Structure 1
Amino acid sequence: MAGNAYRDTTEALLLPRIIRFGQNLYGASFTLMKLVPARHILLKAERTGALGPRTEVVETTSGTFGLALAMQSALMGRRLTLVSDPVIDAALRRRLTDLGARVEICAEPAEIGGYQEARLKRLAEIRAERPDSFCPEQYDNPDNPASYTVVAEHFERALGGVDCLVGPVGSGGSMCGTVGALRSGGRPVTAIGVDTDHSVLFGQPDGTRTLRGLGNSLMPGNLDHRAFDEVHWCTAAEAYAATRRLHARHALFQGPTSGAAYLAARWWAAAHPNARVVVMLPDEGYRYQETVYDDGWLASHGFTEPLPDAPVDVSDPTRPAGRWSRYAWGRRSLAEVIRAAGASEPSREGAP
């Protein structure tokens, strides 16, 4: 058959399914969104010689970027070591090892930067021990946001244009890369980032976060604050409830970062009925069957509060609101926003 008749697993799963939720709201439902940067970075590294014949791939992760790397590394026949922490769930760890990855766990957090900083330090030690290694560096590698050009092109082909893009923010790659590519043609696309309380990404002090998969304890180099028009923060309980609502209303079985993004997107689309809104839904819900999709687990952990109808507007984004909240970021730098709010900029000590 023709050369393009077959696709490998990661290529076949790369682009999201686009699903219409309402008059002007569309969901971009990924099987695993992190395949976009993982595939792009590793194939480019092999093509340019950064990955030699025996080069080992090493990275720090506690979530889906590690799974994407494991899938791509298995297809490429590459050795992979992942540095993680105790928050990694058992089912994900089993899948990683089944794909051939070696998983190291950092048992204790660093005093500043928490587990993410501890993982970065261990990663540096591994790279010093193994000179023939390659790190994708998802937080700082510009190939991460650059890889999402294919997603923006997919949206343009399917929808003929996007007026507003909504999505969770972790490394900054998916939102900054996709919206940057969408705006490259001159279209004034609105970008709404979704974070959670006690994440440093948009100015709050680092703290304990129950909601995983978005937010960060360290400031990634790939996060361009000037890309965002609005930022929303939501709690774990709100994200979980929105995830279940997404499933009940649209039969989409996604993870809690998808629920958090859906919560903000649904509200914004209703307030702007003439705008074509796309919400990024990063991964499927199978890892969360015993947690987010289990009523007993939700009740036992106190995640039963009803969803609010709308976010509260905040004037100081550095103060956690403890509920779904919204700030008009206005495509400004973090320093500009902090000054405008009259707050103190959080320490960057320990940031990569």
Structure 2
Amino acid sequence: MNRHLLDLVGKTPVARIETPLPHRHDGFWAKLECLSAGGMKARSAVAMLLAARARGDLRPGAAVVESTSGTLGIGLVFAGQALGHPVVLIVDAELEPSMRALLRSYGARLEIVEDPHPVGGWQQARLDRLHAVRDSLPGCFWPDQYNNPDNPSGYADLARELVDQLDRADVLVCSVGTGGHSAGTVATLRRYWPRLRLVGVDTVGSTIFGQPARSRVMRGLGSSIYPRNVAYAEFDEVHWVGPVEVVDACRRLARDTFVTGGWSTGAVALVSAWVSRVEAGASVVTVFPDGPHRYLGTIFDDDFCRARGLFGPAADRPLEIGHAESVEVTGWARCRSVTVPRALGVPA
């Protein structure tokens, strides 16, 4: 156990982003969670494990088992080291080799799923393997990041840091995967700024906001299941973005601002810049969950992007749709009517 590691979580700076994405805009604030030990999701990982220990659901030294596309995995191995718990991660065959190596170097045991579920994709396949692994590890703890209310609570400190760092915020732009950081951050921020608007950013092919499940290039945002942590009632609008637009945004950030990151970072940067451009005078803030290093073989690799047609042309504004379930979007789109999907609570 190394509880002193917990002092390294959070207290991240904000940066002013004015890079044209692709057009000029008034600028927005980005909280740089890549500069926190364990990344953004260390906040939720620590919160979930501490709460479980307090309830007695996680016994001293017991294993922690979770499904992840990688980012929460880093947070969990950080929390596991700090609190003295071995970590078993259920990942899939599409997880980058560099991320596999990093997770193993931190002491995680990896269970790799080789084939996606025919309906629920990689997420459902990982969850199926997770239940089998749990049966083989008596006394282990499953945080269940998609549905655990302690996941959003981990972001209250992030919100309080933003209150200390900014004079005001009018619009919060959040990527949505498990729904944790959007729900937890907006709940606290609205105590200080009640009129704050929340804009969700999803990926094409994700079911979270009522679109059909499709194969997805981007990892870290979107879902092929319906996480209960998504606070649908808190969103004022949602955007879906495609990988072409995100690759363009990440590379523009790298060339112009030096501050850049992965799929979620590029997605929220693109939408934040658009909001800043169309809502003149609004104070727009977002969260960059991680940095670029995990994505050197994907977003920042010319061969990878060229082979998948990710070099354009990129849309420079969203297509407006009236209702999320009325049309399937294949590129950057926006909907100002956010409703709970009819299939909520079951695999997509």
Task: Tell me the TM-score normalized by structure 2.
Answer: 0.90
Q: Residues 244 and 7 from structure 1, CA distance in 2 versus in 1: closer, same or farther, beyond 3 angstroms?
A: farther
How far off is 1:24 after superposition? 4.9
Deviation at 1:132, TM superposition (A): 0.8
2:340 to 324, 331, 334: 334
Measure, in 1, the Cα distance between the counterparts of 2:125 and 2:285.
36
Aligned to 1:133, the other structure's residue is in SS state: coil
Shift of 1:296: 3.3
Name the counterpart of 1:83: 90
Tell me which amino acid in the other structure corresponds to 1:323: G
Using the TM superposition, give the Cα deviation of residue 45 of structure 1 relative to its aligned residue in structure 2, in angstroms: 2.5
- Deviation at residue 250 of structure 1 after TM alignment: 1.3
Q: Supply the distance in 2 between the matched residues of 1:294 and 1:42 (Cα, whole angstroms).
A: 36
Give the equivalent residue in structure 2 for 1:350: 347
Equivalent position of 1:126 in the other structure: 133
The AA in structure 2 aligned to 1:17 is P
Q: Does 1:313 align with 2:320?
A: yes
- Give 1:186 shift: 5.6
Query: Bigger CA drift: 131-140 or 297-306?
Result: 297-306
AA in 1 matched with 2:333: S
- 1:251-282 alpha-carbon deviations (Å, 9 max, x no partner): 11311210011000001011112211101111
Per-residue deviation, 1:112:
2.4
Corresponding residue number in structure 2 for 1:251: 258
Counterpart CA distance in 1 for 2:126 and 2:301 is: 30
Q: Secondary structure at the match of 2:61?
A: coil
C-alpha distance in structure 1 between counterparts of 2:30 and 2:60, whole Å: 40
Counterparts in 2 of 1:129 and 1:265: CA distance versus 1, 3 Å: same
- 1:63-111 CA distances to partner (integer Å, 9 max, x unpaired)? 2001110122123331111111111111111111111111001222223
Higher relative contact order (CA 8 A, sep 6+): 2
Unmatched runs of 5 consecutive residues or more in structure 2: 19-25
Structure 2 distance, partners of 1:223, 1:271, is 26
Partner residue in 1 for 2:17? 21
Aligned length: 335
Shift of residue 50, structure 1, vs aligned partner: 2.5
TM-score normalised to structure 1 length: 0.89
* Structure 1 residue matching 2:107: 3-state secondary structure: coil
Give the alignment partner of residue 200 of structure 1, picking from 196, 207, 216.
Answer: 207
Q: Which residue of 2 aligns with 1:338?
A: none
Q: Which runs of 5+ in 1 are unaligned?
A: 1-5, 336-344
| Misfit runs of 4+, over 4 Å | none
Matched letter for residue 121 of structure 2:
G
Contact persistence 1:24–1:275 (CA under 8 A): no
Tell me how large the CA RMSD over aligned residues is. 2.0
Q: 2:270 aligns with which of 258, 263, 269?
A: 263
Q: Which amino acid aligns with 2:171?
A: C
Structure 1 residues 1-352: aligned runs within 5 Å: 8-22=4-18, 23-31=26-34, 32-185=39-192, 187-318=194-325, 319-329=327-337, 332-334=338-340, 345-346=342-343, 349-350=346-347
Post-superposition Cα deviations, 1:279-305, rounded to whole Å, max 9, x if no partner, equal 111111101112211233322321111
Whole-Å separation in 1 of the counterparts to 2:45 and 2:343: 30
